[in-house]
Chain A
């Protein structure tokens, strides 16, 4: 297994004391596999991704098991992290507008990682940057190497970001909402590009998104996060077609449907998500779930196995099944 996360807890410091942002998250990813992480804002999905990169904010504390290629990530020092980042694990960010340094050429930013990790000379790295830009489908790569970010469109910048991530042929790419800031058509192109590159290189992909459709099309496996908890996990098709957890069910029911009656109301989940870090002792969904009983809020529900590699954290799964 390429990546193993077991019982990951993550606390961030706040003025009122540490807040638990991720609770008992457990998931894994095989070599070359694809994992979708879906959840609302504040569900802890980005922080989970940053934990895998060792890029958590100042003062964050984690416990639990984090293993990548057999290494215990929690035991790495900063020097070892830097060797890993950009080299074995790379990240693609949400805002291609802000994730590139406005004062450096695209080529230089792509070349940097290769100079750093692969020991290439600057000119060799720049030449390879042009090849990478060609691979990510940017027209006129030889000229684009010398372009500044402001000369590129949003989709082109995201392609450049992907080229940056590919530079050292990482084993794992974490894409945090890579298409959220882009137009729908560009979004599809970027996702196609990621899928094609994954086939070519055999790298694994973690796709963080709030968009179920994006996950459904691009990921073999999915974890559904809410309030810092992994509510449900399993093969994407299973989870989306036969959701077990009341939260997953509610989330799927709230999707806008093509061909729904005109003027019909979109279904919503009553209540609001708890602010990050303020989840109750028990299930984070307890307050909003129609099936809540006293025991839900009292203690963290256990992860119940529903099949091979399929889990849900809920003590009311039977009732959820019946009321569906």
Chain B
């Protein structure tokens, strides 16, 4: 497959385009917030609290006078960070375990898969609450908790996809050429399951963003003064009748981020589908 055909098919895939646009927007917001925000996001300005949207404060201010637009931009940074690191942890350990399970078979496979079932059996959020309860609230612990939840997800997906590839004749041919299981896993299996893993990573990214919002909403994730969409929602809750817009803007940001990631995942799945690719 040449890049040309991939690009032309990507252009004709609306869910990929919308997803990429929304995700691009969030990434742009996060990047922008590192160099510029209308006001410092942590700046407290009590005299100007609870202002409605205006030309000076585009999205208004909250009960402490924080500029909502600045906080949203800075919050994108936390969401992206959590998503990237938590999915990174999941991919790193999950893919390694899944490949080991599929290549080793037998007792090792059973042990790894039962262990992931065990980790999987805990509701993700409960696991995160448990871990933050033990190690204390904070964005780092939230990332680790969400990352741990991602490990069995990737282990399962990797093993299933790898088992599919391992029955292919070119793997038998590679073994007949004298290649060992590690070389086969890395050189033959991994490239052939990469598209599945990329799609899964996109979806897990969305789940991680949502999980961080939930943890921060519960007060177990980002702590003040760090701006986070979940924390904004939690604080807006108390003022829901006086200033509902305070809940609407971060809520909208979460919806757009998760929607964008899911659309992107859907689009990528269509674009990377080997059945479609075979028809090129």
A interface with B by C-beta (< 8 Å): 53, 55, 58, 82-87, 90-91, 93-95, 98-104, 112-113, 116-117, 150, 161, 164
Q: Is the beta-carbon distance between B168 and A98 smaller than 8 angstroms?
A: yes
Residue pair B177, A55 in contact (C-beta under 8 Å): no
Q: Is B168 a contact partner of A90 (Cβ separation < 8 A)?
A: no
State whether A161 touches B173 (Cβ < 8 A): yes
- Contact of A98 with B170 in the complex, beta carbons under 8 Å: yes
B178 with A93: CB separation less than 8 A? no
Min C-beta distance of B184 to chain A, whole Å: 10
C-alpha gap A126/B30 in the complex (Å): 46
Contacts A58-B106, A101-B192, A103-B191; A86 near B178 (Cβ below 8 A): yes
| Further contacts, 12 of them, CB under 8 A, given A113-B178, A164-B177 | A55-B172, A82-B178, A85-B175, A86-B177, A98-B169, A99-B170, A99-B173, A100-B170, A112-B179, A113-B177, A116-B178, A161-B173
The answer for the CA separation of A235 and B272 in the assembled complex, in Å, is 52
The proximity string for B residues 152-168 relative to A, scoring 1 for CB distances below 8 Å and 0 otherwise, is 00000000000000001
* C-alpha spacing A184/B105, complex, angstroms: 40
**In the bound complex, do residue A82 and residue B176 qualify as a contact, i.e. CB atoms below 8 Å apart?**
no
B176 closest partner in A (C-beta): A91
B48 within 8 A of A: no
Q: Is B81 an interface residue (CB 8 A)?
A: no
Determine the chain A residues whose CB is within 8 A of the CB of B177 once the complex forms.
Answer: 85-86, 90, 112-113, 116, 164
Closest-by-CB residue of A relative to B171 is A101
B-side contacts of A91, CB under 8 Å: 173, 176
B105, B169, B280: the one within 8 Å of A93 (CB) = B169
Which residue from A84, A98, A101, A161 sits with its C-beta under 8 Å from B178? A84
Which residues of B lie under 8 Å from residue A83 when comparing CB positions? Answer: 178
- Chain A residues with Cβ below 8 Å from B178 are 82-87, 113, 116-117
CB distance from A108 to the nearest CB of B (A): 9
Q: Which residues of B contact A93 (CB under 8 A)?
A: 169, 172-173, 176
Q: Whole-angstrom distance between the alpha carbons of A95 and B169 in the complex?
A: 8
In the assembled complex, the Cα of A101 lies from the Cα of B192 at a distance in Å of 9
Report A-chain residues with C-beta under 8 Å of the C-beta of B188: 101, 104
Instruction: Look across to chain A and name the residue whose beta carbon is closest to the beta carbon of B177.
Output: A86
Q: List 10 A-B contacts (CB under 8 A).
A: A83-B178, A84-B178, A90-B177, A93-B172, A99-B173, A101-B192, A104-B187, A112-B177, A113-B177, A150-B280
Closest beta carbon of chain A to B137's beta carbon, Å: 44
Q: Are A85 and B180 in contact (CB under 8 A)?
A: no
- On chain A, the residues within 8 Å of B168 by CB distance are 98
* Most chain A CB atoms below 10 A, which of B170, B172, B174, B177: B177
Expressed in whole angstroms, the Cα–Cα distance for A234 and B138 within the complex equals 78
Give the residues in chain A near B187, CB-CB below 8 Å. Answer: 104, 112
Q: Whole-angstrom distance between the alpha carbons of A94 and B173 in the complex?
A: 11
Contact assessment for A53 and B191 in the assembled complex, using a CB-CB cutoff below 8 Å: no
CB distance from B113 to the nearest CB of A (A): 16
Q: Chain B contacts of A84 at CB under 8 A?
A: 178
What are the residues of chain B within 8 A of A116 when measuring CB–CB?
Answer: 177-179
Interface centre among A83, A90, A103, A164 (most CB of B within 10 A): A103
Tell me which of B172, B173, B280 has the highest count of chain A C-beta atoms within 10 A of its own C-beta. B173
Q: Mark B88-117, 1 if CB is under 8 A from A, else 0.
A: 000000000000000001100000000000
A104 to B178, CA, bound (A): 17
Residues of B within 8 A of A90 (CB): 176-177
- CB-CB nearest in chain B for A98: B169
How far apart are the CA atoms of A117 and B192 in the complex, in Å? 25
Closest B residue to A164 by CB, please name it.
B177
Complex Cα gap A98–B168 (Å):
7
Task: Give A281 to B106 CA distance when docked, in angstroms.
Answer: 31
Report the Cα distance A58→B106, complex, angstroms: 9
Kindly state the separation between the CA atoms of A161 and B172 in the bound complex, as whole angstroms: 13
Nearest Cβ in chain B — how far from A97, in angstroms?
9
Flag if B175 contacts A101 (CB, 8 Å).
no
Q: In the complex, A102 Cα to B177 Cα: how many Å?
A: 17
Instruction: For the complex, give the distance between the alpha carbons of A87 and B177 in Å.
Output: 7
Minimum CB–CB distance from A70 to chain B (whole Å) comes to 20
Chain B minimum-CB-distance residue to A85: B178
Q: Report Cα–Cα, A84/B174, bound state, in Å.
A: 13
B169 touches A102 (CB 8 A): no
Cα separation A85 to B172 with both chains bound (whole Å)? 11
- State A164–B170 Cα separation when bound (angstroms): 12
Residue of A nearest to B184 (CB): A101
Residues of B with C-beta under 8 A to A100 = 170, 173
A150 to B173, CA, bound (A): 17
Please, which residue of chain B has its CB at the minimum distance from the CB of A100?
A: B170
A305 vs B106: C-alpha distance when bound (angstroms): 44
Contacts of B179 in A (CB 8 A): 82, 86, 112, 116
Contacts of A113 in B (CB 8 A): 177-178
Among A55, A87, A95, A103, the residue within 8 A (CB) of B175 is: A55
Among residues of B, the one whose C-beta sits closest to the C-beta of A81 is: B178
